[in-house]
Amino acid sequence: MTSTHDIVVDQVQESRVGTTNFDNLIFGKTFTDHMLECTWRDGKWETAHIKPYGPIMVEPSSKVFHYGQAIFEGMKAFKDAQGNVHLFRPEDNWIRFNESAKRLAMPTVPEEIFMDGLKKLVDLDREWVRQGDGVSLYLRPFMIASENGVAAAPSTEYKFMIVMSPARAYYRGDVRVIIASQFSRAADGGVGYAKAAGNYAASFYPNNLALEEGYQQIIWTDAATHEYLEEAGTMNIFVRIGDKLLTSPHNDRILNGVTRRSVIQLAKDHNIDVEERRVSVKEMNEAAANGELKEIFGTGTAAVIVPVLGYKHEDFVHDLPAVDDSYATLFKQKLSDIHYNRVNDEHEWLVKI
């Protein structure tokens, strides 16, 4: 057992990397040799530990199970052709993680625990980061309320952890969506902008209904009127009408996605007219009817860029046309080139491990 920068490291004696089938991965089911754990107790963070991946001990009365104080982030590490490992915009995830923590009355995580712990953990398990387009190491920092007791109040103890999973492409089949006209993902003044675990749990039932109709995801609309687009499943949503790219503005209902912000910047870099504004379902349906709706695509860390092939809104069903100058294809390629360090990183988004 060793200690580096106040991070205690307990390394496995033998890695499982050599017995892992990287060609047959199910997203989020295989994990690397190590994980990070750090406890907040008595008003302060204790020493962070990197230890072999495995079960953790919590009591059945832990408040996470009863009051849902749980947040997480999704990040990735990539390996370039030279064998170097990079993180993509990790500081943005750390900042957003702490914004989520504040909203759920949880303690913020200092940079030296989140960032230094993340870098040390990725470096220790760097052999789990494989080369190749679409191949990455998915990183899952999360925090849960671990105090025992069922009184309805914020926990006085928390566990911050990071686990890591080798990953390939998230979506491999066609994606068609239903536009929500009944269920909502988030409401004004709520926790939609936070990566709160409950946001995702609440989406499972309506998404199951969509699957029963043959659709893979839902485009969420505003809770008040169901007239405006907000997010696409677990992703941010972009709509291309003519040559203009539109995306819903960040607010307290919509997650401020790192991939979303990256796509907006890439659009500006390529002189594509991009607007952050409310997009109504009516506007999109009218554009579809008159042939002006060119593309819909989702953006997110796990999936990166996911083109939507068609959608249903109440009785209106529309298939998207194939376009030669696809923005989704352009941005996916540009992001891939940055992820794998094949082009100049002019925005300094990569952090080398």
Domain 2-168 fold is: D-amino Acid Aminotransferase; Chain A, domain 1 (3.30.470)
List pLDDT tens digits, range 178-220.
Answer: 999 999 999 999 999 999 999 999 999 999 999 999 999 999 9
For position 3, what pLDDT does the model report? 46
Mean pLDDT of 14-21: 95
pLDDT band at 171 (very low <50, low <70, confident <90, very high): low
For position 13, what pLDDT does the model report? 94
Mean pLDDT of 71-98: 97
Average pLDDT, the chain: 94
Mean pLDDT of 247-253: 92
List pLDDT tens digits, range 119-158.
Answer: 999 999 999 999 999 999 999 999 999 999 999 999 999 9
Give CA–CA dist 13/198, Å, rounded. Answer: 37
List pLDDT tens digits, range 40-60.
Answer: 999 999 999 999 999 999 999
List pLDDT tens digits, range 317-331.
Answer: 999 999 999 999 999
pLDDT band at 232 (very low <50, low <70, confident <90, very high): confident
List pLDDT tens digits, range 259-280.
Answer: 999 999 999 999 999 999 999 9
Question: Under a CB-based contact definition with an 8 Å cutoff, are residues 349 and 343 in contact?
Answer: no
List pLDDT tens digits, range 337-349.
Answer: 999 999 999 999 9
As a CATH number, domain 176-339 is 3.20.10.10
For position 169, what pLDDT does the model report? 74
pLDDT band at 306 (very low <50, low <70, confident <90, very high): very high
Taking the CA atoms of residue 238, residue 139, residue 5 and residue 18 in that order, the dihedral angle to the nearest 10 degrees is -150
- b (16+ CB within 10 A) / e for 73-98: bbbbbbbbeeeebbbbbbebbbebbb
For position 174, what pLDDT does the model report? 81
Instruction: Return contacts of 17-20, CB within 8 angstroms, 24+ apart.
Output: 17/125, 17/127, 17/128, 20/128, 20/166
Give CA–CA dist 239/273, Å, rounded. Answer: 12
100, 193, 222, 254 from 190: Cα distances, Å: 11, 8, 12, 10
Domain residue spans in the chain? 2-168, 176-339
* Closest residue by Cα to residue 36 from 155, 126, 124, 97: 124
